[in-house]
Amino acid sequence: MKALVINLTRFGDILQTQPVITALTDQGYEVGVMCLKNFAGTTQLLRNVTRTFSLPGASLLASLDRDWREAVNVFESYCTEIEESFDPELVINLTPSVSSRLITLRLGQGREVRGFAMDDFGFNADTSRWAGFLQMASANRGSSPFNVVDLFCKVAGINKPAPFELAESTAEMKIAALKLLENPAPGAQGFVGFQPGASEDRRRWPVEHFRKLGRRLWKEKRMVPVLLGTEGEKGLGERILQGAEFPSVNLMGGTSLPELAAILRRIDLLVTNDTGTMHLAAGSGTPLAAIFLATAQPWDTGPAAANLCCFEPDLDCHPCPFGKKCAYENVCRREVEPDTVFDAVSSFLDSGEWPRIENRGVRAYLTGRDERGMISLTSLSGHTDSDRYKWIVLQRELYRRFLDGDEFDAAELPKMELSSDLRSRLLSSLNSCRDVLFLLSKQAVILQADPIEAMKMKFLANLQKIQDILSSCPELSVLSSMWMIESRTHESMDGVMDQLKCYMALVGAMSVSIE
């Protein structure tokens, strides 16, 4: 059996496909991966990938500019080559873009398809609610309680996530790493990696914080900072080392991906922003402390391995919504103090355990796995009783049942005591939503028996009303987005009635859990 996994995103997301590939391999599949051409080198870091199909996006766009018929021929030749050389029985698309859906539509003909799909009329035809949740939750900050690794597995139809373990470094790369880290400063006790880059400036921990951390690591622990990053990030490394009072190894822009992976396996610990390097370290078994700023948050894009430490600012406005300028001049960038990170890292280097980190202006978490094998976070900073933490925990349990299609047994529903303000806001929206859902269910029965035009208009207006109610409450915004997408995909009233039933059950369960 052969399976083709499509992931047309970036470096870190491709790495996070590893558990899907591992699970498919365990099921007896030979796995090929389709990715963008400029990230094709990433697949050499993955286990159990037998073929890599790099999508020539630039040449496709160039041919489209010249003549759309030429672009169609290039696209068709690309798909035909995959079919003739690999011929997968299963196609899994983990990317919700239109281009990725079109590829899935073409390659999925006569094959099993999972994930983000498209019907013959160009409409979304995702194969599970998990796919819709992945697409919508990533855009709704604070409403994404599942790690991307687990979401990829669910979208791929894999219920029990496999471990996130990337390929071992080759002997050649291990030797290269040894050479790059040879001759440390006299008295050095080890190495701590620094990854100061990030996808946006506002998601970067300040360079002066890295410098202060490096100074204490050398002075108090005799640990040598190793600067890691791309050629384009070299300027950050140079700024960190300006006036530095510690020895260092500056490898920014000086390693290949396999060399970087081998180096991460050699260092004692990594301090990083939310980056692809963070995911590479997590999949390589490297201890790490990750800092999540601006739009980054550890619940969904955090490292997918156990016993790692994540920091985020303890601010009501964090995480930021995408596409909006910060109204507070990116104050979150300086909330995670270098002394806080040093104390945590120092304790871990001494004992192998992360300490409690309370009253330091941060929300700190320890990564682990829950009873179902999904990545979970435990508060290290005393935030277990906060509304934010409780609401995320409740969402994890109720959304999992909803997305898996499980029944909600009232006797088994979790109870969560929230603040009176949050409880009041949630119940107001949930009760309004429940009333309109009940009305819709009655209207659906009438329409199924007799599709009266006037009733159709009222029914459509109430469908929109559900979206408006849910979107008015930030904590329920992801449900609003899912409702909108799902309500447009049905071909019959049977599908609509099933959607109404499922959402009524979820809304009712949420109400019971917080009453």
Closest listed residue to residue 7, CA positions, set 257, 276, 374:
276
CATH number of the structural domain 2-155: 3.40.50.2000
Instruction: Identify the band that residue 65 occupies on the pLDDT scale cut at 50, 70 and 90.
Output: confident
C-alpha angle 465/471/472, rounded to 5°? 90
- For residue 190, give the 3-state DSSP assignment: strand
Position 102 pLDDT exceeds 80? yes
CB-based contact 107:19 (threshold 8 Å): no
CATH number of the structural domain 171-384: 3.40.50.2000
Residue range 381-386: average pLDDT? 97
Structure token pair of residue 450: 């007799």
pLDDT score for 495: 87
Phi, psi of 432 (to 5 degrees): -65, -40
pLDDT score for 143: 66
Closest listed residue to residue 20, CA positions, set 300, 283, 308, 378:
283
154-171 pLDDT, tens digit per residue, is 999 998 889 999 999 999
C-alpha angle 202/206/211, rounded to 5°? 160
pLDDT score for 453: 81
Domain chopping of the chain, boundaries: 2-155, 171-384, 420-514
Instruction: Identify the band that residue 111 occupies on the pLDDT scale cut at 50, 70 and 90.
Output: very high
Residue range 225-248: average pLDDT? 96
Highest mean pLDDT among 443-452, 453-462, 478-487: 478-487
Position 270 pLDDT exceeds 70? yes
Order of strands across the sheet with 49-55?
A: 49-55, 30-36, 2-6, 90-93, 112-115
d(CA 260, CA 283): 13
d(CA 178, CA 102): 45
Instruction: Identify the band that residue 142 occupies on the pLDDT scale cut at 50, 70 and 90.
Output: low
CB within 8 Å of 117: residues ≥ 6 apart: 93, 101, 104, 105, 108, 124, 125, 126, 127
- Would 2-155 and 171-384 be classified into the same CATH topology? yes
400-435 pLDDT, tens digit per residue, is 999 999 999 887 899 999 999 999 999 999 999 999
pLDDT score for 490: 80
